Amino acid sequence: MANNQKVWTRRHVLASGTAVSAAAIAGCIGGNGDDDDDEEGGEILDPEEYDYERDEPDDPDAVSDGTMVYTQELERDEDFDPVVANDAYSVQVSNLIYDDLFEFNYDYELEPKVAVDFPDVERDDTRYLYEIHEGIEFHNGDELTASDVAHSFTAPVEEETPNISTYDMIESAEAIDDYQLQVDLEHPYGPWEMFNQAVAIVPEDVRTEDTEAFNTDPVGSGPFQWADFQHGEYVELERFEDYWDDPMPHLQAIRFEDNVDDASRVSEMMAGDTDAIGDVPNDDWDELEGEDDVNLHVAESPSVAYIYFNCNEGAGTADPNVRRGIAHAFSMQDYVETYLNNAAIPLVTPTSRITNDLWDFPVDEWEEELYPQYDPEQAEELLDEHAPDDWNPTFLAPDDERATLAERVATRVGELGHDMEVQTMDFGAMLEQTIYSDGNPDDYELYIVGWTGGPDPDQYLYPNFHESQEGTNQGHFYEGSDDFHDNIVEARESADDEERQELYNDVIEEILEELPALPAYTEHNSMATGEHVRDMHVHPQMQYNPHLVSDEGNVWIDD
Amino acid sequence: MGLLRYTLYRLLQAIPVLIGITIITFLLANLAPGDPVRLMLQGQEVDEELIETIEQRYGLDQPLHERYITYMSGLVQGDFGHSIHRNQPVSDLMLSRLGPTLLLVLSAYAFAIATAIPLGIFAATRRNDPADHISRIVALIGVSTPSFWIGIMLILLFAVQLGWLPSSGLVYPWWGPEAYDWIDTWPELLYQTARHLLLPMVALGTLQMATLMRVERTQMIESLQGEYVKLARAYGVPERTILRKHAFQVAQLPIITIIGLNLSTALGGAVLIEYVFNINGMGRLFIEAIQSLDYQLIMGITIVIGTMFVIGVIITDISYAYIDPRVTYGEEE
């Protein structure tokens, strides 16, 4: 538990006075450092430098009663049933309660967990046969069987929960016996093996008895079990002593709280009122790094941000030359260095850097040949030649750090003689005016939104670029070449990775050439922990954090 | 008009005010740009069918006037509806958050009254002395400094630098010591409640304290210059008695008005303080409801806060009559 009080000295009095004054002048903890377009940037942080070695205790028995408080950066929806949960912060809790059929390792690749091995695939890549481990017990003592796995796959579809799209390609999921399961898909589904088969397993009997009660009093088979809960306040989990898998967690219990205010959360960390916080704000990184008793952790994530261009008729940005002109007008590298150097890395593809690595995409080639680098002369040339007369585009951005990117783009385009108006607004209002609109160019020609995908390119390309997603996930209205949308669907409905890779190469190249959206940056998952929290490693899958126990890490408290 | 009739009359007057609040809030919330269902599902692959299913589930597919009538018919039966985003009854959500907000606001008021009145009297009785000047400067700073900024400064000093007090959260006495692993007894629980409450209470109460102190000082100065005080002095009544019996009581009428009317300011300030100190109160819930366009929750909280404010004003009016016998209940003698 957190209990690190500082000793009072005269030096502290003076230091506190200085700190208060400095904070007053600088705008206190949590400032976003905006409003200064010419602000000096910092070096972009390399997450690999924070890829710590294992830090195992000398005597595991001596650290088996450690407890920790983890402060999440957003409030949970308090949905702990994975069938219905669709907020990452509830899932951060429930991931410790449930075992998945497959789980992601730190390289973002699936490994069998409850499954004994990878499935046998039959019927033209539409039938998956799974074998699961025998003797796995839920926290109530019931055995985990194949019918529980089948229920976990089908319940989101049958109950029409927000997770329906993850499993709606399933034709049927049936237990062959207690330890074997057959899942039939309606058609081959490319991302299945890389993503969708990582289902969290719920006990069918307990859950179906009272689904509402189960949502806030869950039972799983994971390394931690439900201990205490106050809605909106905290969740406490304790180690499940009969856990079936190795390693057994060192940590005896964890308490999840939340603190949505960046400054307040950082203050909590600095005051020692919590053991760990999620999401270290960009501007507080250096300050926390300077603290002797705080460790920082970071990992790349599948979260990306794009600048979308309205391609509807009547928009200046309907012309790909104008889109390219805008993209050449400013430096994304410079923007990230200035405002997000500790939290993001510039992105040159519509897929995340992790996905690119997993798929071995020719990123360097694309960056060199296709991605529009900062080139004001070319920008001026393109905009002068192709932008409509008296062109005054509107750029919509949510009222957060993304607005600073919009401002920067507008400033640079303005310097080239084209007035661009930036409108910042509440996120919901912005979505209503862009994604959920008919794309009227008078309302917007550019907007910026983030997206969290996964290891499979389909998780970015289908929702953000396929025409069927207009009005639900995207508002760029890009028509594409003859086979652009067909290629996205074909890749989705193929299980042949080679074929898929070729299709995705074509799709991504077209996106980079035509720019319906400009890839902006990929954001990191970060965490700050007290020095006494040991062997913590941040996982690329945000919902897996804090990742307390795996073959690659087992968190313990050094008293 | 008797006190009971007057109270009843004022309560009846409050009904159209509250209905007006429901109409305005309902329209503002529902006509604001954005869609709560799409916002809830944003960031994942969804289709129109799922969105329509969820909209039907929460009655969002109905015309606006029908939704209002449905809402009001539930409300008169005590049903505040169901939160779309949190999938919980609104009344349950509000009940769980009301306690922390009331604890914060009432303690801030207690702090403000307990400090402002003695300081105001002190300043008035030492008019134009250095102590008076200092107290006026302090009050001016208190009035002109945002409460959230005071909160951040208090955290930096007392929690981060000195480590004397916790930086965030509250310990709720109504949960009892058994709810906290690290608290064993009731006295310890109350001590921890006070420790956690101290910084947010001061941060929120400073504005009220400064406002009340300025008014108290002015009223006391005016009161001490009154003819009845001069007469008392001429009769040789001790200064302490004059201050306590003759000047003080008369000076309190404006203070009561300000306390009542400042309730809305305090509730507004509580929103920010709850954010800064990570207190799970109504204010924070309100902001989150607005951000997620959770219509029913926005309505519920607005009605509760509006009702609290209206009741506060009524109590203020009634208190007047107790303190000043010259005040009548609205009828000519």
Contact call for A273 and B167, based on CB within 8 A: yes
Chain B partners within 8 Å of A271 (Cβ): 155, 159-160, 163, 166-167
Q: What are phi and psi of A409, to 5 degrees?
A: -60, -45
Could you give the angle at the alpha carbon of B229 between the alpha carbons of B225 and B230, nearest 5°? Answer: 80
- Residues on chain B touching A2 (C-beta within 8 angstroms): none
- Give the whole-angstrom CA distance, residue B170 versus residue B270: 14
Burial profile A308-328: b = 16 or more Cβ within 10 angstroms, e = fewer = bbbbbeebbbbbbebbbbbbb
pLDDT of residue A66: 95
List the beta bridge partners of residue A170.
A185
Residue A16 to residue B157, Cβ atoms within 8 A: yes
Q: Let me know: does A256 contact A76? Beta carbons within 8 Å.
A: yes
Q: Which of residues 20-59 of B touch A (CB under 8 A)?
A: 32-36, 38-48, 50-51, 53-54
Mean pLDDT of B293-322: 85
CB B161 within 8 A of CB A6: yes
Q: Give the best-scoring range by mean pLDDT among A357-361, B20-24, B70-74.
A: A357-361
Find out whether A185 and A199 touch, Cβ atoms under 8 Å: no
CATH code for the structural domain at B91-291 = 1.10.3720.10
Give residue A405's pLDDT band: very low, low, confident or very high (50, 70, 90).
very high
Whether pLDDT at B332 is above 70: no
pLDDT at B5: 81
Query: Which pair of tokens denotes residue B301?
Result: 């909280």
pLDDT at residue B226 greater than cutoff 70: yes
Nearest C-alpha neighbor of A232 from the set B286, B106, B86, B199: B86
- A520 near A543, Cβ under 8 Å? no
What percent of chain B clears pLDDT 70, i.e. is strictly above it?
95
The whole-angstrom distance between A273's CA and the closest CA on chain B is 7
Distance between B161 CA and the closest CA of chain A, angstroms = 6
Go through A495-515 and write b for each residue having 16 or more CB atoms within 10 A of its CB, e for each that does not: beeeebeebbbebbbbbbebb
Is the pLDDT assigned to residue B291 strictly greater than 50? yes
More confident residue, B7 or A231: A231
> Regarding predicted confidence, which is higher, A226 or B215?
A226
Task: Give which of A195, A229, A261 to mutate to test B binding, by max B Cβ within 10 Å.
Answer: A261
- Residue B125 has φ and ψ, to the nearest 5°, of -80, -15
Pairwise CB contact (< 8 Å): A267 & B156:
yes
pLDDT, residue B28, reads 87
Give me A299's structure tokens: 């990992």
Question: CA–CA distance from A95 to each of A137, A445, A549 (Å)?
Answer: 16, 40, 11
What is the nearest CA distance from A365 to chain B, expressed in angstroms?
29
Query: How would residue A351 be classed by pLDDT, with cut points 50, 70 and 90?
Result: very high
**Are the Cβ atoms of B163 and A436 closer than 8 angstroms?**
no
Cβ-Cβ contacts under 8 Å, A261 against chain B:
275-276, 278
| CB contact (8 A) between residue A28 and residue B86 | no
Say yes or no to pLDDT of B237 above 90: no
Report whether pLDDT(A20) > 80.
no
What is the tens place of the pLDDT at every residue in B29-88? Answer: 888 777 888 777 777 677 777 788 888 888 888 898 999 999 999 999 989 998 888 878
Instruction: Provide the pLDDT for residue A258.
Output: 94
Contacts of B155 in chain A (CB under 8 A): 264, 267, 271
Alpha-carbon distance A417 to nearest alpha carbon in chain B (angstroms): 32
Q: How many Å apart are CA B272 and CA A263, to the nearest integer?
A: 13
d(CA B282, CA B119): 31
Strand intervals (E) in A73-223:
102-104, 110-112, 120-122, 127-131, 170-177, 180-185
Distance from the Cα of A508 to chain B's closest Cα (Å) equals: 19
In angstroms, the separation between the Cα of residue B148 and the nearest Cα of chain A is 11
Partners of A468 on chain B (C-beta within 8 Å) are 47
| Contact indicator for A408, A414 with CB cutoff of 8 Å | no
Q: Which residues from B are below 8 Å from A425, CB to CB?
A: 33
**Residue A163 β-bridge partners:** none
Angle between helices B90-125 and B282-291 (to 10 degrees): 130
Task: Please tell me the distance in Å from A257's CA to the nearest CA on chain B.
Answer: 10
Using DSSP bridges, classify how beta strands A394-398 and A344-346 pair: parallel, antiparallel or unpaired. Answer: unpaired
Residue A284, φ and ψ in degrees, nearest 5: -100, 0
Considering CB atoms only, which of B33, B153, B175 is closest to A20? Answer: B153
Mean pLDDT (whole number) for A117-123: 96
Between chains, do B169 and A165 touch, taking CB under 8 Å as contact? no
Contact B275 A264 (CB under 8 A): yes
Q: Is the model's pLDDT at A370 over the cut of 50?
A: yes
Of A7, A19, A428, the CB nearest to B293: A428
B155 Cβ under 8 Å from any chain A Cβ: yes
Q: Are B48 and A471 an interchain contact pair (Cβ–Cβ within 8 Å)?
A: yes
- The neighbour count for residue B134, using CB atoms within 10 Å, is 12
Distance separating alpha carbons of residues A533 and B159, to the nearest angstrom: 21
Is the CB of B34 less than 8 angstroms away from the CB of A432?
yes
The chain B residue lying nearest A253, using CA atoms, is B181
- In terms of CA atoms, which chain A residue is nearest residue B36? A428
Over range B112-134, report the average pLDDT: 90
Q: What mean pLDDT comes out for the span A383-408?
A: 94
pLDDT at A41: 61
Out of B161, B284, B293, name the one closest to residue A12 (CB): B161
In total, the C-beta contacts within 8 angstroms joining chain A to chain B are 162
> What Cα–Cα distance (Å) separates residue B254 from each residue in B141, B248, B249?
22, 12, 11
Domain edges within chain B = 3-75, 91-291
pLDDT exceeds 50 at position A100 = yes
pLDDT for A29 beyond 60: no
Instruction: For residue A473, give the nearest of B36, B45, B278 by CB distance.
Output: B45
Query: Per the CB < 8 Å rule, is A267 touching B168?
Result: yes
CB contact under 8 Å between A86 and B277, yes or no, is no
For position A16, what pLDDT does the model report? 40
Quick check: A162 and B44 CB within 8 A? Answer: yes
B87-107 b/e (C-beta count within 10 Å ≥ 16 → b): ebbbeebbebbbbbbebbbeb
Contacts of A233 in chain B (CB under 8 A): 280
Is A307 within 8 Å of A102 (Cβ atoms)?
no
Chain B residues close to A432, C-beta within 8 Å: 33-35, 38
What are the distances in angstroms from CA A127 to CA A110, A187, A493, B140? Answer: 19, 9, 14, 75
Average pLDDT along chain A = 91
Mean per-residue pLDDT, A278-282: 96
Strand partners, A305: A450, A521
Q: How far is B248 from chain A (nearest CA, A)?
A: 39
Q: Give the model's pLDDT for residue B182.
A: 84
d(CA A133, CA A139) in angstroms, rounded, equals: 16
φ, ψ of residue B50 to 5 degrees: the values are: -65, -40
Dmax over CA atoms of chain A, in Å, equals 76
A245 closest CA partner among A411, A116, A342: A116
**How far, in Å, CA of A309 to CA of B295, rounded?**
31
Chain B residues near residue A231 by CB distance under 8 angstroms: 88, 92-93, 96
- Decide if pLDDT at B252 tops 60: yes
Which residues from chain A sit within 8 angstroms of residue B161, using beta carbons? 6, 12, 15-16, 19
**In the predicted model, is pLDDT for residue B220 greater than 70?**
yes
B86 CB neighbour count, 10 Å cutoff: 26
Contact yes or no for B278 and A260 at CB 8 A: yes
Count the neighbouring beta carbons within 10 Å of the beta carbon of residue A58: 6
Q: Percent of chain A having pLDDT more than 70?
A: 93
Give yes or no for a contact between B120 and B242, defined as CB atoms under 8 angstroms apart.
Answer: no
Residue A160 CB neighbours (<10 A):
14
Q: Are A28 and B152 in contact (CB < 8 Å)?
A: yes
Q: Tell me whether residues A267 and B53 touch, CB distance under 8 A.
A: no
For residues A496-525, average pLDDT: 97
Mean pLDDT in residue range A196-203: 97
Contact A267 B167 (CB under 8 A): yes
Interface test with A, best of B97, B155, B276, B277 (most A CBs within 10 A): B155
Neighbours of B266 (CB within 10 A): 23
* A217-221, B204-208, B303-307 — most confident range: A217-221
A-chain CB neighbours of B28 within 8 Å are none
Helix axes A332-339, A401-415, angle to 10 degrees: 140
Q: What is the mean pLDDT of residues A255-279?
A: 93
| B residues 226-245 lying closer than 8 A (beta carbon) to A | none
SS (H, E, C) chain B: CCHHHHHHHHHHHHHHHHHHHHHHHHHHHHHCCCCHHHHHHCCCCCCHHHHHHHHHHCCCCCCHHHHHHHHHHHHCCCCCCECCCCCCEHHHHHHHHHHHHHHHHHHHHHHHHHHHHHHHHHHHHCCCCHHHHHHHHHHHHHHHCCHHHHHHHHHHHHHHHCCCCCCCCCCCHHHCHHHCCCCCCHHHHHHHHHHHHHHHHHHHHHHHHHHHHHHHHHHHHHHHCCHHHHHHHHCCCCHHHHHHHHHHHHHHHHHHHHHHHCHHHHHHHHHHHHHHCCCCCHHHHHHHHHHCCCHHHHHHHHHHHHHHHHHHHHHHHHHHHHHCCCCCCCCCC
Q: Are A469 and B45 inside 8 Å of each other by CB? A: yes
Token readout for B316 is 């203020």
Summarize the confidence of residues A299-305 as an average pLDDT.
96
Q: What's the mean pLDDT when you consider all of chain B?
A: 87
User: Token digits for B34?
Assistant: 């954005």
Return the pLDDT at A21.
Answer: 41
Domains of chain A: 74-256 (3.40.190.10), 301-523 (3.10.105.10)
Q: What is the pLDDT of residue B331?
A: 53
* Calpha distance B221→B120 (Å, rounded): 9
Note whether B166 contacts A273, CB cutoff 8 Å. yes
Question: Helices marked H in A65-203 — which ranges?
Answer: 88-97, 146-158, 164-167
Select from A28, A29, A431 the Cβ nearest to the Cβ of B42: A431
Any A CB within 8 A of B160 CB: yes
Distance CA A292, CA A282 (A): 19
Per-residue pLDDT averaged across B261-289, rounded? 86
- pLDDT, position B8: 84
d(CA A520, CA A347): 5
Percent of chain A scoring above 90 in pLDDT? 84
Beta bridge partners of A299: A525
Residue A554's H or E segment, with its range, is strand A553-554
- Residues present in chain A in total: 559
Q: What is the pLDDT of residue B328?
A: 63
**Average confidence (pLDDT) over A258-286:** 93
Given B38, B40, B156, which is nearest A23 (Cβ)?
B156
264-303 of B, contacting A, C-beta below 8 A? 275-278, 280, 284-285, 288, 291-293
Q: Are strands A517-530 and A294-309 parallel, antiparallel or unpaired?
A: antiparallel
Q: State the average pLDDT over residues A287-296.
A: 94
